[in-house]
Amino acid sequence: MKTTLVLLSILFYSTISAQYTFSTFTEDYSILTEDQNLDVESDWDDPLFTLQIGFDYEIGDATINSMFQDGLGAAFFSGTNNNGNAFGYVEDLRDGVSVGEPSFITYQVDGDVGDRICKIQYANCAFYDEVVIEGTANNRVNFQIWIYEIDNAIEFRFGSSNISDPSLAYLNLEGPNIGIFTDITNDGETIGMATYLSGSPQNPNVETNPDFDVIELSGLNGTPEEGRVYRFAPMSLSAIDQKKESFSIFPTIASEEIWIEGDEMNEVRYSIVNLAGQVLDNGVVVKNSINVSSLSSGMYLINIGETSQKFFKQ
């Protein structure tokens, strides 16, 4: 019992500090087919526009229905740059039309009320340093940012990329900077939390820091492959996740499968988290079982609603 309480305390501290849980997976990249323009002029550089999300969305301590793009890359802000919240793919994107094929920024809102997704698409985007310094636009990137109504999650979804010279694309880094910055106040002097990625594009490190002075945005060490998805989900659970809470599991030492016992556990959402608070798997319980065969050996927690159960993967 004491060991279980210690493990839960570690998880609680980690996830509350991070504010967001993180998971990554691959999924087919779908180009938007009914997207709308955002009044971005041709040959754009550091485009300024307002994104109408289409529903109320919670980020940090704010509830908003629009954000604005300001400056480098796909950087979105609520409030102001120095007092509000922000997230984005923070690289110096530019339209490549002046030296090659054009680049486009569009969006669409899909789904029914309560389950809508605002999808912003950056298509065939070039990079400022290459266009201006080299006079070419060979390096190109395609990605989307999805904003979810149901649980206030944010996803970065990557399409095909052609990054032959990372130093031109990523401002002398090896890969892009991706992150979320919440509750920025005091004219940018303080922050609730920064949650950002570094390391391998396939299995990134999740860095968190509440101090602007020591945040180091070193970026990923490569370009995410086509189909790669990075999902950031706020720690506050949606009503759907909270409605089923009490459960038990067996076996607690497992190699292939975990069985879930509790009232109406089928079709409820779950997540599997390591002791650092990083989400390694999530989905929906099917026939009261969860397959854990892909996990490495070690200790984990299964979260359903606000309840967690410990197990060891052998």
pLDDT tens digit at each of 314 positions of the chain: 223 333 333 233 333 334 788 889 999 999 999 999 998 989 999 999 999 999 999 998 889 999 999 877 899 999 876 789 999 999 999 999 999 999 999 999 999 998 899 999 999 999 999 999 999 999 999 999 999 998 899 999 999 999 999 999 998 899 999 999 998 888 778 888 899 999 999 999 998 888 877 788 889 999 999 999 999 988 744 333 444 457 888 888 888 999 888 777 777 888 898 876 788 888 888 888 899 999 988 888 898 877 888 888 88
pLDDT of res. 242: 42
pLDDT of res. 276: 67
**140: which residues sit within 8 A by CB, 6+ positions away?**
96, 101, 103, 124, 125, 126, 161, 162, 163
Token readout for 42 is 């041709």
What residues are paired with 75 via a beta bridge? 88
Nearest of 122, 118, 178, 119 to residue 149 by alpha carbon:
118
CB 65 within 8 Å of CB 51 = no
Nearest of 185, 234, 189 to residue 215 by alpha carbon:
189
Residue with tokens 């979810």: 148
Token readout for 172 is 């002398």
Residue with tokens 């004491």: 2
Nearest of 199, 90, 75, 94 to residue 139 by alpha carbon:
94
pLDDT of res. 147: 96
pTM for the model: 0.71
Token readout for 272 is 């599997």
H helices of the chain, in order, are 2-18, 128-129, 166-169, 239-242
From its phi and psi, is residue 288 left (phi > 0), alpha (psi between -120 and 50) or beta?
left
Token readout for 232 is 């950031």
pLDDT of res. 18: 42
